[in-house]
Amino acid sequence: MAEVENGGRAPRSSGLKGIGVSPGYAIGRAHLLDRRRMKVPKYHVGATEIPKEIERFEASLAESESQLQEIKDKLQNAGEEHFFILDAHQLMIRDEMLVDGVKNMIREQNINAEWALKKNIKSIRQLFENIDDEYFRERRADVDFVGDRILRNLMGSAHPNLSQVHGDSIIVAHDLSPADTAFLLRTPVLGFCTDVGGKTSHTAIMARSLELPAVVGTDHVTEVVGDGDMLIIDGANGRVIVDPTPEELRHYQRLQLAYSARRAQLAVRKNEPALTQDGVRFRIAGNIELHEECGLVLESGAESVGLYRTEYLYMNRDTLPGEDEQYEHYRHVVALCGAEGATIRTLDLGGDKFITPLKLGRELNPVMGLRAIRFCLREPGIFKVQLRALLRASAHGNLRIMVPLISGLSEVRAVKVLVDACRAELAAEGHAVAERVPLGIMVELPSAAVIADLLAREVDFFAIGTNDLIQYTLAIDRANEHVTYLYRPLHPALLRMLKFIVDSARQAGIRVSMCGEMAGDAFYTAVLVGLGLDELSMNAVSIPLIKTVVRALDTAECRRLVMDVLAMGDAPEIEVLVARRVKEMLRGQIPIEVFDPDRQPQP
Ligand code: PEP
Ligand code: MG
């Protein structure tokens, strides 16, 4: 990596702490993406460029003033006398607090005019917000109006978006929607960091799938980073370094190399099965969001696809995917997976995943609203297109259909009725369908976990979705960084549920897998082996490490560990015990930081 160019400025190295959601190190230039409002270019300027920035700012003020004058003239010509609001706006444009404030920021903070204006408008707005008078509080809108007008004049017209991102960028955004993140598959970048977001948000999951180092929940990274600033992302430890010093750069370049070397070493046996010390085989599968990822998870050592989140097929487009298009995608995935086949999940829209063609009404609590199977049963026309495509694809390999967010028996039965209807239609039309297409459910609601014994008699397999099961059991929004500290998969309530789900599946003789993020976190592998799951499904990046951990374990020892933790009452104590016992079991074969109980984010 070349020494950093900072336009003659000395590096101002500063660090930010967030939640590390996707491991690895990214070193590159920031690309700011401000989706909330207009995309504002933010960059640092050298001392020689300051007069030019001030000049640009003054020109934009003059332009804004004459635009307002023009509007006033038009109103006057039309006989309209009441333009006092425009007068007020003209006065604001020349207000000292605004004008001098921006100029001082340009001079003192070495930042461009747009950035200074945005910062200054924000602080003026805050002043209004704190006034205990309704009328003055309402004037915030006028501040925004004036600010936007000046900003537009400063910026001209071009508003860059994700499609203009370069491959060597690190995306910096207030938030990225799952759809934005899916877009990154086709627009390769080095990594990203955001102001908000939680550990198991879909954006975080997508980052792991794409193997992009990522830090979320930094609170204010968009405030301190400018476009083109040098950045380092430490995706495992949740650190963002802005404008690193040469020493920091060298340090992280070394870590980056060591990380790649460790991954290369873990990958040596990635294609061998995961057999424990006492010879028990655990199936390791891959989670994918887009069919293009199928090759990647198989190359990383997955034996099959354990979760295909098909809703991503519906995103970033203006129309819904038709039956033939879906059929081609599913057929492709099933064919690549060979004998072990693929578990394809039906549409899980809603929650934090929305799509353009469906103008779904905004709900107060979307996560508890018309999400996933609830939406599909309400819109059987849309659901049947997918079911037909899945059934047709089943003729080409080992395809399993999995239904998300099941809360009880009647939903399972309603799905079966629709599947049977689609099968009958396809037969009448002369389409081939596999004789048996296993139908399973995600166990990801507390209600489903508690009646797992009843559900197990109705379906062919279970897949435990810990991301939602934890969200709904502990009442923690998975996309909210403020409650991430409560994300504790070893909470006794969850451990009891997991045990009951696995035992219920055993009793009914059906297969049980886990495809939530817990399955891909090596800290929990011994507990999951001890619980007796058949399959663990995860992002590509986790597969070689989890296989290595499984190979070092003994199932009897893991079962003893599970018995011990089930007798305990408090998650932090359980974490300490698990860390100690697993370290003993692994006898130093695996990097130790994975098992550090302190890595859990604290409030
Ligand atoms: C889960 O909830 O654990 C799961 C795997 O589904 P998703 O993350 O897509 O909600
Ligand atoms: Mg889920």
For the stretch 5-42, pLDDT in tens is 444 455 566 788 999 988 899 999 999 886 555 678 88
Phi-psi sector, 601: left (phi>0), alpha (psi -120 to 50), beta:
beta
Residue of 442, 471, 494, 498 best suited for mutating to test ligand 1, as the one with most atoms within 8 Å of CB: 442
Nearest ligand to the C-alpha atom of residue 287: 1
Least confident of 204-208, 241-245, 577-581: 204-208
CB-based contacts of 94: which residues, under 8 Å, 6+ apart? 61, 65
* Burial annotation 542-578 (CB, 10 A radius, 16+ → b, else e): bbbbbbbbbbbbbbebbeebbeebbeeeebeebbebb
From atom 3 of ligand 1, which residue's Cα is the shortest distance away? 465
CB-CB neighbours of 8 under 10 Å: 10
Give catalytic residues, as residue numbers. 202, 515
Question: What tens digit of pLDDT does each residue of 461-493 get?
Answer: 999 999 999 999 999 998 888 898 899 999 999
Q: From the CA of 200, give the closest atom in ligand 1.
A: 8
Residue of 444, 464, 478, 524 best suited for mutating to test ligand 1, as the one with most atoms within 8 Å of CB: 444
Q: How far is the CA of 22 from the centre of ligand 2 (A)?
A: 19
Residue with tokens 């400018």: 226
| Distance linking the first and last C-alpha atoms of the chain | 37
Q: Is the CB of 466 under 6 A from ligand 1?
A: yes
Q: In the chain, where does the domain assigned CATH 3.20.20.60 lie?
A: 271-556
Residue pair 31/172 in contact (Cβ under 8 Å)? The answer is yes
Q: In the chain, where does the domain assigned CATH 1.10.274.10 lie?
A: 47-155
Q: Is the CB of 197 under 6 A from ligand 1?
A: no
Give residue 179's pLDDT. 61
Residue pair 406/346 in contact (Cβ under 8 Å)? The answer is no
Residue of 469, 515, 528 best suited for mutating to test ligand 1, as the one with most atoms within 8 Å of CB: 515
Q: How far is the CA of 202 from the centre of ligand 2 (A)?
A: 9
- The token pair at 576 is 């300490």
State the Cα–Cα distance between residues 383 and 369, nearest whole angstrom: 17
Residues belonging to the chain? 603
Q: Is the per-residue pLDDT at 365 higher than 60?
A: yes
**Residue 552: pLDDT band with limits 50, 70, 90:** very high
Please give the helix or strand (H or E) that residue 216 lies within, else none: strand 214-216
In a 13 Å sphere around the CA of 544, the CA atoms on its Cβ side amount to: 15
Q: Given this structure, which CATH class describes domain 271-556?
A: alpha beta
CATH code for the part of the protein at 16-34+161-266: 3.50.30.10
Q: How far is the CA of 246 from the centre of ligand 2 (A)?
A: 43
State the Cα–Cα distance between residues 217 and 223, nearest whole angstrom: 13
Q: Which of 391, 297, 408, 316 is nearest to 346 (CA)?
A: 391
Residue pair 454/407 in contact (Cβ under 8 Å)? The answer is no
Higher pLDDT, 166 or 117: 117
Q: From the CA of 348, give the closest atom in ligand 1.
A: 9
Q: Is the CB of 394 under 6 A from ligand 1?
A: no
Report H helices in 277-316.
Answer: 294-299
Q: How far is the CA of 514 from the centre of ligand 1 (A)?
A: 10
Higher pLDDT, 587 or 375: 375
Q: How far is the CA of 268 from the centre of ligand 1 (A)?
A: 29
Give residue 592's pLDDT. 52
State the Cα–Cα distance between residues 24 and 215, nearest whole angstrom: 10
3-state class of 295 per DSSP? helix
Q: How far is the CA of 466 from the centre of ligand 1 (A)?
A: 7
CA distances from 246 to 1, 10, 230, 253 (A): 11, 10, 11, 10
Cα dihedral 568/282/510/435 (nearest 10) = 160
Higher pLDDT, 279 or 76: 279
User: What sign has the CA pseudo-torsion 479, 484, 490, 491?
Assistant: negative
Give residue 160's pLDDT. 38
CATH code for the part of the protein at 47-155: 1.10.274.10
Q: In the chain, where does the domain assigned CATH 3.50.30.10 lie?
A: 16-34+161-266
State the Cα–Cα distance between residues 39 and 151, nearest whole angstrom: 10
Percent helix, percent strand, percent coil in the chain, to nearest 5: 55, 15, 35
* Partner residues linked to 281 by β-bridges: 275
Residue pair 515/342 in contact (Cβ under 8 Å)? The answer is no
Q: Is the CB of 309 under 6 A from ligand 1?
A: yes
Alpha-carbon 552 to chain mean position: 31
Q: Is the CB of 468 under 6 A from ligand 1?
A: yes
